[in-house]
Amino acid sequence: MPSRNIKKAKEAYKKKDLSATITAHNANTPEAHIQQGQYIKSAVYGGLDGIITTFAVVAGVAGASLSSIVVIILGFANLIADGLSMAIGDFLSSKAESEYHAAERKRETWEVENYPAGEKKEMEEIYLKQGIERKDARKIVSILSKYKEAWIDEMMLKELGIVEETESPLKNALITFFSFQIFGFIPLIFYVLKIFFPIQVDSFLVASVLTGMTLFVLGAIKTKVTERNWFKSGFEMLVVGGIAAAAAYGIGYLLQMIV
């Protein structure tokens, strides 16, 4: 059981509160936040990609002064096609990374079991490059080599720069897809509603406001991954999405003039 509460430790660090840091390091609490936040990255980035790309489609169609039905058709086509593409890409890349990590761990395990002297020498050289004196490096390696799994973990990290993850590629892909669909639908909501309720309000204006608000919120939530200031992150995402939308709107407008 970990003797440190990392969430509280991070909060203490932000405040530079030494007493809170000491308390966090002596808190015998389970690291539940690791499980809770395991897939937040896929959810946030899937949502961001979904809302930005869909709104870009909406902006392009609006710039070309095309009908609302075109917005809906192209918007939903983008939702399904890009959502599947992103989810499949996430699944395949995560799966390939997991397979690579497993293969490298298998190799490291074989080397540790069959040529421990060579692995010890490698670890010693790594520690020497980090500025650790040779006698201390040898002592560290001597102790570490008594514990096979810990030794292999250290070799994976120090030699190969691999930090093994426990996330499921399939879960990552599903979360990415559904997050893409949910947030990507936001720019289309009002266009769909107007089919059933003919409200006399500019659909593109409403879509812009809803998208801007959602982008800011998603950017702020992204700080759960990046640990940045929530307001700066939200504003940055709002600006990035605005630039993408402005570019799409401009292209649609220019093409409409040419055609």
Residue in 221, 172, 195, 226 with CA at minimum distance from that of residue 51: 221
SS3 state at 30: coil
Measure Cα distances from 235 to 47, 105, 204, 217, 232 in Å. Answer: 16, 41, 21, 9, 5
148-159 confidence digits (pLDDT tens): 888 888 888 887
Residue in 114, 73, 249, 98 with CA at minimum distance from that of residue 167: 98
What distance in Å separates the CA atoms of residue 135 and residue 82, rounded to the nearest whole number? 56
**Domain residue spans in the chain?**
38-258
pTM over 0.75: no
On average, the pLDDT of the chain sits at 82
| pLDDT given for residue 33 in this prediction | 46
At 254, the pLDDT band (50, 70, 90 cuts) reads: confident
| pLDDT given for residue 13 in this prediction | 65
What distance in Å separates the CA atoms of residue 228 and residue 256, rounded to the nearest whole number? 41
Q: What percent of the chain has pLDDT over 90?
A: 20
More confident position, 84 or 258 = 84
89-129 confidence digits (pLDDT tens): 988 988 888 888 888 888 888 988 888 888 888 889 989 98
